[in-house]
Amino acid sequence: MMTNTVEAEGQLTPEEQKRLTADMHRSLRRKKFRALFLVAPLLIFIMVTFVAPIVSMLYRSVDNPQVLEYMPNTSAALADWDGKDIPDEATFAALVTDLAEGRKNHTIGKAATRLNYERSKMRSLITGTARKAGRLKPPYKDKVIKIKAGWADIDTWKIIKRESKSLTASYYIAAFDMETTPDGEIKMLPEKERVYFKMLWRTIWMSVLITLLTLLLGYPVSYLLASLPMRTANTLMILVLLPFWTSLLVRTSSWIALLQGQGVINDILVWFGLVNDDSRLSMIYNATGTVITMTHILLPFMILPLYSVMKTIPPSYMRAARSLGATPFTAFFRVYLPQSVPGISAGAILVFILAIGYYITPALVGGQTGQFIGNMIAYHMQGSLNWGLAAALGVILLVLVMGIYALYSRIVGNNNQMTLR
């Protein structure tokens, strides 16, 4: 359009026009590169120090090298096994080679641990046989079965064959409390053995509860702060910002001092005679402890976005409604509340996202019943060392959080993220 105007004035020949366009493109490109050049250092840094670790975790949740790497002969021998009968002598010979070799290199334990995730008893089957494998002479088949009867079970072989692929879905299957039968069917575990789904579910509903509590406590306070004169509001705001700026561990340890059996709150209750000295309330090292502590920790994250939205609602609207005959309640529910909805949804989603990924607080005050899925991830990282499962649980949590975050940015846009964490 611009070129048309210029042409109409008749000042530029087509060649000049072309040159001008080229110049403009070149200058634009240069500006583009300059902008990219400024962003590049951090972008590369984040890619290497943050995005690559997350991607490597994604990969680890499906990575399955152990059987293939530490039992190479058996894997190869099983490649064209039809799965109908116990494998032949050649496969058993391959197995004995792998076991003897693996025992010498101290690697067979890794393959055994991996297979044990699929079926308990696999570890003892493999390590027990490996201990004697070095001294065996052919023919192997009957001798191996004599050492451990498990080798006569066709399912053992089916599992080894299945797990000798370099990628596996089995960590995800386990993370959803399901199992693969030796015949390759995926089914739910019996009710009693379902751990992770229950944990994920508990994490979600406890996060919802915490979100609702922060909303219940935060809404009136934000309303008060937004309607008070600036000077008073700023002073009271310190009471919100100070906890916000205080270390998570400080607040958690302080709640331990408050809530424990011999703690301040129980002491007060006993002193007032509301509770007997020998029946003090147990408010910590259980779900109650997690909910109270996390509500306190996350409350500022609810108040700040609510406050920033309420600040923009003109107080004259409420006055107008009142002067037109509305009761205070009608005025609030019909006029004020609908206008504060963006703040509610922003605060709620923010608190929920933060809550669902928590690990430290539940670990310190959660006891048995107040643990979150994050604690399960940490346990498999540091305790059971089942890293594949930890990674799979991490990816599930990540997908969940990212989904909710997408919702959050839709609602809030991209400019209100300062209040995150």
Partner 1 sequence: MALPSYAGPLETFWYYAFRAFCGLVFIFLISPLLIIIPLSFNIEPYFSFTEGMLAFEPDAYSMRWYKEFFTSDRWMNAIQNTFIVAICSTILSMILGTLAALGLSRSELPFKGLIMGLLISPMIVPLIISAAGMFFFYSSLGVSQSYLGLILAHTALGTPFVVITVTATLSGFDHNLVRAATSLGATPTYAFFKITVPLIMTGVISGGLFALMTSVDEVVVALFIAGAEQRTVPMQMWAGIREQISPTILAVATLLVCMSILLLTTVEYLRRRSETIRGITPQ
CB of 152 or CB of 401, closer to partner 1: 401
Instruction: Figure out which of the listed residues 84, 137, 192, 421 binds partner 1, where binding follows CB under 8 A.
Output: 421
| Residue 84 DSSP symbol | S
Instruction: Figure out which of the listed residues 113, 254, 282, 339 binds partner 1, where binding follows CB under 8 A.
Output: 254
The answer to the question of residue 336 lying near partner 1 (CB under 8 A) is no
The answer to the question of residue 385 lying near partner 1 (CB under 8 A) is no
Q: Specify the 3-state DSSP secondary structure of 365.
A: helix
Give the span between the Cα atoms of 76 and 81, in whole angstroms: 10
Q: Specify the 3-state DSSP secondary structure of 167.
A: strand
The answer to the question of residue 377 lying near partner 1 (CB under 8 A) is yes
Measure Cα distances from 70 to 12, 34, 128, 250, 326 in Å: 75, 51, 16, 47, 77
Q: How far is the CB of 269 from partner 1 (least distance, A)?
A: 13
The answer to the question of residue 65 lying near partner 1 (CB under 8 A) is no
Per CB under 8 A, which of residues 17..56 are in contact with partner 1? 28, 31-32, 34-43, 45-47, 49-56
Per-residue b/e over 27-55, b at no fewer than 16 CB within 10 Å? eeeeeeeeeeeeeeeeeeeeeeeeeeeee
Note whether 306 and 343 are within 8 A (CB). yes
Q: How far is the CB of 40 from partner 1 (least distance, A)?
A: 8
Neighbouring CB atoms inside 10 A of 112's CB total 24
The answer to the question of residue 228 lying near partner 1 (CB under 8 A) is yes
The answer to the question of residue 257 lying near partner 1 (CB under 8 A) is yes
Note whether 94 and 76 are within 8 A (CB). yes
Measure Cα distances from 172 to 61, 179, 398 in Å: 8, 10, 13
Q: How many residues bind partner 1 (CB under 8 A)?
A: 93
Per CB under 8 A, which of residues 165..194 are in contact with partner 1? none
The token duo for 174 is 């386990």
Instruction: Figure out which of the listed residues 186, 188, 242, 320 binds partner 1, where binding follows CB under 8 A.
Output: 242
210 closest CA partner among 283, 290, 305: 290
Per CB under 8 A, which of residues 124..163 are in contact with partner 1? none
CB of 46 or CB of 167, closer to partner 1: 46
The answer to the question of residue 324 lying near partner 1 (CB under 8 A) is no
Q: How far is the CB of 360 from partner 1 (least distance, A)?
A: 6
The answer to the question of residue 2 lying near partner 1 (CB under 8 A) is no
Q: How far is the CB of 68 from partner 1 (least distance, A)?
A: 19
CA angle 370-375-380, nearest 5°?
A: 140
CB of 53 or CB of 138, closer to partner 1: 53
Q: How far is the CB of 330 from partner 1 (least distance, A)?
A: 13
The token duo for 313 is 């609602």
310 closest CA partner among 326, 332, 295, 294: 332
Give the span between the Cα atoms of 234 and 244, in whole angstroms: 15
CB of 38 or CB of 90, closer to partner 1: 38
Among the candidate windows 14-22, 84-92, 155-163, 410-418, which touches partner 1 by CB under 8 A? 410-418
Give the span between the Cα atoms of 249 and 363, in whole angstroms: 11
CB of 87 or CB of 289, closer to partner 1: 289
Q: How far is the CB of 61 from partner 1 (least distance, A)?
A: 10
Per CB under 8 A, which of residues 207..226 are in contact with partner 1? 217-218, 220-221, 224
Note whether 159 and 71 are within 8 A (CB). no
The answer to the question of residue 258 lying near partner 1 (CB under 8 A) is yes
CB of 134 or CB of 328, closer to partner 1: 328
